Chains A and B, each alone.
Chain A
Amino acid sequence: MRGPGRLPRWADLGLLPIVSLLAALAASAAIIALIGESPWEALRLLVAGAFGSPEAAGYTLYYATNFVFTGLAVAVAFHAGLFNIGCEGQAYVGGLGVGLACLGLDHHWPLWAILPVALCAAAGFGAAWAFIPAWLQARRGSHIVITTIMFNFIASALMTWLLVEVLIKPGQQSPESREFAAAAWLPTVRGLLGRSGRSLGASPLNLASGFALVAAVLVWIYLWRTRWGYALRVVGQNPTAAVYAGISPPRVMLAAMLISGALAGGLGLNEVMGVQHRLLLDFPGGAGYVGIAVALMGRNHPLGICLAALLFGALYQGGSQLSFDLPRINRDMVVVIQGLVILACGALENLFRVPLAALWARRRPAGAGE
């Protein structure tokens, strides 16, 4: 029982994020009231915008899919003690892999043959983009936060060059590749459901969401049910003890970053193969950074990450609805609300942890300590 901040597990995983979320919403409500809109009305519109119809929910889940991939990516690295800020770039390059696979194969192969290649390309390209920062960290001690940020910029520049100079569809102004043939389109959920899926409307929800859920389960098994995951967590918690236990921290760090990059690459499936059906500029759209907040809020646990991703998906989708319906709340205002949620759930976590823990300690009978 050392220091403050020790909470029972359920409160740590359940209560704390909810309290943080409520605080963020309260602050948002105050700001919304300040600019002259009704906070209740805004909240109602936000929820209705995110879940009000099957189509809205479909959009929410589509956004959430991206956040699950990047959230898992951040979490795996985090368990190895690494802060991977580079998911944005890894997702971008992972999408490039998907795009190249589709562009190369869509006229020759059917979907069931393209899909595994695209899957491997997403993971492989994402992992490859994470490899260099990981290698520099593990072997040379270059700080991974700095190098992964740098690699986001490099990825961005690389993709711009490729799309402007190499992959651009001939005779076209905007830097985009040609559209894939339908054989390289991930089936939408609407399509899979047939008649009953018609209410999903134009929502872009597709098979990639299923892959995201599978990835979450696999990450859970890997981290807590295999000895490699055990070694990874030992390295993250106590590198000295890892060396003592015969685990090589550099090797584990490399593995963790490769897995992290591969997971981030999964975003490419959803965006490139599932929705855009072409390569275009900036399709990750900041999801790599939101993944950090998702992982923080989800406590780096796959289940928590899925829930947090759902929340952020709802904020994205409901937020755009909100800015549409209430003229005084524009897109920037929605970004402010998202920022407040990130601030409360991530950066200010200890703001509520300490008083909650104190409350808990007082409630418990005394003398139960060491």
Chain B
Amino acid sequence: MSAGPTERPAEPTGSGRGRPPALELRGIDKRFGAVHANRTVSLTVASGTIHGLIGENGAGKSTLMNIVYGFHRAEAGEIRVHGRRVEIHRPHDAIAAGIGMVHQHFMLVEDFTVLENVMLGVEGGRLLAGGRARARAELERIARDYGLAVPLDAVVEHLPVGVQQRVEILKALYRRAEILILDEPTAVLTPQETDGLFRLLARLRAQGKTVILVTHKLREIMAATDRVTVMRQGAVVHETATAGTSERALAEKMVGRAVSLRVEKTPARPGPVLLAVRDLEVRDRFGVTRVKRASFEVRAGEILGVAGVAGNGQSELLEALAGILPPSGGEIVLAGTPLMRRGLGPRARRRLGLAHVPEDRLRMGTVAAFSAQANAMLGYQEQPAYSRGGFLRGAAILAGCERKMRDYDVRPPDPRLRLTAFSGGNQQKLVLAREIDGDPRVLLVGQPTRGVDIGAVEFIHRRLVGLRDAGKALLLVSVELDEILGLADRILVMFNGEIVGEVAAADATEQKLGLMMAGVKEGQS
């Protein structure tokens, strides 16, 4: 979206024209046990604008929006909609007040049609027939008014994710939402689909609707919003017109200090091939082929990025390389050793110098109920550094974890704390420290900065580049295009299980990658 597809109105509409604000929050306060999630938050969203709400994970944006939508109840404060005070105890109240929400994970019945999904809960009578006809007429009107074309009779699960999201928006509009909250709406979209979404939001704004866009992506705030509110640690720390700010300024407000958004790195100096993959094919447990005949090489001293919209086979590729998911065909050669022919599993691969930072650290990379030190040896528990003759070396485990925490700035630096007492960024740093500490030759990295605060992102990126410069081979899977573009030296794009192309980082643009991510093959690849 470097060019910014949305046409911004001549001047910010709303408050200036004497209309009451669409949504006004005054002194919202909410605690979860010891966590003060919202600290007397006040927020004013002018009618007919797109308002961005940005903050790091755990800054309290989702809590705030869940209070507005009636999932949580605030302990103090009031909510005003179009100037009138409203009591919102449950989502039903929010809908009645004209508030609609599109969740990050869609709330759709997959094997219902679009029409049935939209009608669900507001069928209007005991028999469906009459309601269905009325709903169809109404939806056709909405589609015309907002340019929101969706095939009403298509079954939802057959629709692309971007269209499913439109169904969610249609649902909200059908329920006469005047204020639309979108929670991290672009996580599952290609850049082109994201552009399409923002154009739609602009049309909604032109028709007088109010949109609140909750995101952690600075670019989207800059591309789509009129005003932006920054939250940090449960409180609003900044509010400004989008036109008068910059990504860097917003990032600083989010983190509370200066941050570097660009990764400093020199050109790669690739060495010998350390990881070679030939005709790799992976099926999931339902027998569906998720990776189709993938072939590529990763050399020492380079980062190979794998881009793609989530769910196009990257996760399966990564797990197959790590030995977790058994491939149905092909060969993986790690520094000259054919892993498939020799039947080597995760343990043997680790011993051969293959480390793996998994995509989902809580699902796979750690044990949440264990202490930090017990997590800092996961996968390496048999190595002499941690156990001798079957007995764990308590003192060595403790000292090793302390050292890793120091080297990777994990806070708080207490190896005995439970893993869940650490923030996402610190958990991720611990996982990274563990995997790098084994001095691997090849490092597989999945979504290294998912759910990680900006400060830690910077740190993790610098470490990954440092590892590359130390002559390791890195395979980086990420759905964040910025991350791929910033770190990778070569980029593979996956679509529907296939590697649809390879681009050198120097030639890669977001537009080009975006087209490939949508399945448009490159001329020569």
Which A residues are in CB contact (< 8 Å) with B374?
Answer: 230
The interface bits of chain A over 296-313 (1 if a CB of B lies within 8 angstroms of the residue's CB, else 0) are 000000000000000000
A369-B36 contact in complex given A225-B392, A227-B392, A241-B366, C-beta closer than 8 Å: yes
Which B residues are in CB contact (< 8 Å) with A238?
Answer: 363-364, 366-368
Contact B31 A366 (CB under 8 A): yes
Answer whether residue B347 sits at the interface, using C-beta atoms and an 8 A cutoff: yes
Stretch at the interface among A126-134, A209-217, A242-250: A242-250
- Nearest B residue to A240 via CB reads B364
Determine the distance from Cα of A229 to Cα of B345 in the docked complex, in whole angstroms.
Answer: 21
Answer whether residue A237 sits at the interface, using C-beta atoms and an 8 A cutoff: yes
Answer whether residue B258 sits at the interface, using C-beta atoms and an 8 A cutoff: no
Answer whether residue A1 sits at the interface, using C-beta atoms and an 8 A cutoff: yes
Answer whether residue A368 sits at the interface, using C-beta atoms and an 8 A cutoff: yes
Contact B363 A240 (CB under 8 A): yes
The interface bits of chain A over 336-370 (1 if a CB of B lies within 8 angstroms of the residue's CB, else 0) are 00000000000000000000011001001011111
Contact A245 B379 (CB under 8 A): yes
A1-B34 contact in complex given A243-B346, A244-B322, C-beta closer than 8 Å: yes
Answer whether residue A331 sits at the interface, using C-beta atoms and an 8 A cutoff: no
Question: Which B residues, 275 to 309, have Cβ-Cβ distances below 8 Å to chain A?
Answer: none
Sorting the interface of chain B by its residue count into under 10, 10 to 19, 20 to 34 or 35 or more gives 35 or more
Among B34, B345, B358, B391, point to the contact of A368 (Cβ < 8 A): B34
Contact A226 B392 (CB under 8 A): yes
Contact B34 A369 (CB under 8 A): yes
- Nearest A residue to B375 via CB reads A241
A245-B346 contact in complex given A237-B367, A366-B34, A367-B34, C-beta closer than 8 Å: yes
Determine the distance from Cα of A174 to Cα of B44 in the docked complex, in whole angstroms.
Answer: 86
- Nearest A residue to B382 via CB reads A227
Among A224, A234, A246, point to the contact of B350 (Cβ < 8 A): A246
Contact B364 A241 (CB under 8 A): yes
Determine the distance from Cα of A2 to Cα of B58 in the docked complex, in whole angstroms.
Answer: 12
Answer whether residue B390 sits at the interface, using C-beta atoms and an 8 A cutoff: yes
- Nearest A residue to B345 via CB reads A246
Answer whether residue A201 sits at the interface, using C-beta atoms and an 8 A cutoff: no
Contact B346 A246 (CB under 8 A): yes
Answer whether residue A4 sits at the interface, using C-beta atoms and an 8 A cutoff: yes
Contact B378 A370 (CB under 8 A): no
Sorting the interface of chain A by its residue count into under 10, 10 to 19, 20 to 34 or 35 or more gives 20 to 34
Contact B35 A246 (CB under 8 A): no
Determine the distance from Cα of A1 to Cα of B31 in the docked complex, in whole angstroms.
Answer: 12
Determine the distance from Cα of A243 to Cα of B379 in the docked complex, in whole angstroms.
Answer: 9
Among A228, A244, A247, point to the contact of B365 (Cβ < 8 A): A244
Which A residues are in CB contact (< 8 Å) with B35?
Answer: 1, 369-370
- Nearest B residue to A364 via CB reads B34
Which B residues are in CB contact (< 8 Å) with A247?
Answer: 347
Contact B363 A227 (CB under 8 A): no
Contact A244 B358 (CB under 8 A): yes
The interface bits of chain A over 167-205 (1 if a CB of B lies within 8 angstroms of the residue's CB, else 0) are 000000000000000000000000000000000000000
Determine the distance from Cα of A77 to Cα of B106 in the docked complex, in whole angstroms.
Answer: 38
Among B324, B367, B381, point to the contact of A227 (Cβ < 8 A): B381
Contact A246 B347 (CB under 8 A): yes
A101 CB to nearest chain B CB (Å):
29
B396 CB to nearest chain A CB (Å):
12
Which B residues are in CB contact (< 8 Å) with A225?
Answer: 391-392, 394
Question: Which B residues, 370 to 390, have Cβ-Cβ distances below 8 Å to chain A?
Answer: 370, 374, 378-379, 381-382, 386-387, 390
B275 CB to nearest chain A CB (Å):
18
Determine the distance from Cα of A357 to Cα of B367 in the docked complex, in whole angstroms.
Answer: 23
Answer whether residue B369 sits at the interface, using C-beta atoms and an 8 A cutoff: yes
Determine the distance from Cα of A224 to Cα of B9 in the docked complex, in whole angstroms.
Answer: 64
Contact B365 A241 (CB under 8 A): yes
Which A residues are in CB contact (< 8 Å) with B420?
Answer: 1-2
Contact A361 B34 (CB under 8 A): yes
A369-B33 contact in complex given A226-B391, A237-B368, C-beta closer than 8 Å: yes
Answer whether residue B356 sits at the interface, using C-beta atoms and an 8 A cutoff: yes
Answer whether residue B506 sits at the interface, using C-beta atoms and an 8 A cutoff: no
- Nearest B residue to A245 via CB reads B379
Determine the distance from Cα of A1 to Cα of B421 in the docked complex, in whole angstroms.
Answer: 6
B59 CB to nearest chain A CB (Å):
11
Determine the distance from Cα of A244 to Cα of B366 in the docked complex, in whole angstroms.
Answer: 9
The interface bits of chain B over 260-280 (1 if a CB of A lies within 8 angstroms of the residue's CB, else 0) are 000000000000000000000
Contact B378 A245 (CB under 8 A): yes
The interface bits of chain A over 1-41 (1 if a CB of B lies within 8 angstroms of the residue's CB, else 0) are 11010100000000000000000000000000000000000
Determine the distance from Cα of A364 to Cα of B378 in the docked complex, in whole angstroms.
Answer: 33
Answer whether residue B496 sits at the interface, using C-beta atoms and an 8 A cutoff: no
The interface bits of chain A over 233-275 (1 if a CB of B lies within 8 angstroms of the residue's CB, else 0) are 1100110110111110000000000000000000000000000
Which B residues are in CB contact (< 8 Å) with A2?
Answer: 420
Contact A4 B391 (CB under 8 A): no
- Nearest B residue to A224 via CB reads B392
Determine the distance from Cα of A227 to Cα of B382 in the docked complex, in whole angstroms.
Answer: 7
Answer whether residue A46 sits at the interface, using C-beta atoms and an 8 A cutoff: no
A116 CB to nearest chain B CB (Å):
23
A227-B33 contact in complex given A237-B370, A241-B367, A243-B346, C-beta closer than 8 Å: no
Contact B364 A244 (CB under 8 A): yes
Determine the distance from Cα of A237 to Cα of B345 in the docked complex, in whole angstroms.
Answer: 21
Answer whether residue A45 sits at the interface, using C-beta atoms and an 8 A cutoff: no
Answer whether residue A121 sits at the interface, using C-beta atoms and an 8 A cutoff: no
Which A residues are in CB contact (< 8 Å) with B348?
Answer: 246
- Among A4, A357, A370, the most chain B Cβ lie within 10 Å of the Cβ of A370
Contact B379 A246 (CB under 8 A): yes
A237-B369 contact in complex given A361-B34, A369-B34, C-beta closer than 8 Å: yes
Answer whether residue B423 sits at the interface, using C-beta atoms and an 8 A cutoff: yes
Question: Which B residues, 303 to 325, have Cβ-Cβ distances below 8 Å to chain A?
Answer: 322-324
B142 CB to nearest chain A CB (Å):
39
- Nearest A residue to B358 via CB reads A244
B39 CB to nearest chain A CB (Å):
9
Contact A243 B391 (CB under 8 A): no
Answer whether residue A76 sits at the interface, using C-beta atoms and an 8 A cutoff: no
Determine the distance from Cα of A230 to Cα of B390 in the docked complex, in whole angstroms.
Answer: 10
A132 CB to nearest chain B CB (Å):
26
Contact A226 B390 (CB under 8 A): yes
Answer whether residue A231 sits at the interface, using C-beta atoms and an 8 A cutoff: yes
Contact B390 A4 (CB under 8 A): no
Among A228, A234, A368, point to the contact of B367 (Cβ < 8 A): A234
A91 CB to nearest chain B CB (Å):
28
A1-B379 contact in complex given A234-B367, A240-B363, A244-B324, C-beta closer than 8 Å: no
* A contacts, CB < 8 Å to B: 1-2, 4, 6, 224-228, 230-231, 233-234, 237-238, 240-241, 243-247, 357-358, 361, 364, 366-370
For the complex of A and B, 3 pairs with smallest distance between CB atoms = A246-B347, A369-B35, A245-B379
Please name 17 further chain A to chain B contacts, defined as beta carbons within 8 Å, in addition to the given A230-B381, A233-B370, A241-B363, sorted by A numbering. A1-B33, A1-B35, A227-B381, A227-B390, A227-B392, A238-B368, A241-B365, A243-B324, A244-B324, A245-B378, A245-B381, A246-B346, A246-B379, A364-B34, A367-B36, A369-B36, A370-B423
8 contacts between A and B (CB under 8 A): A233-B370, A237-B368, A237-B370, A241-B363, A243-B324, A244-B379, A245-B378, A364-B34
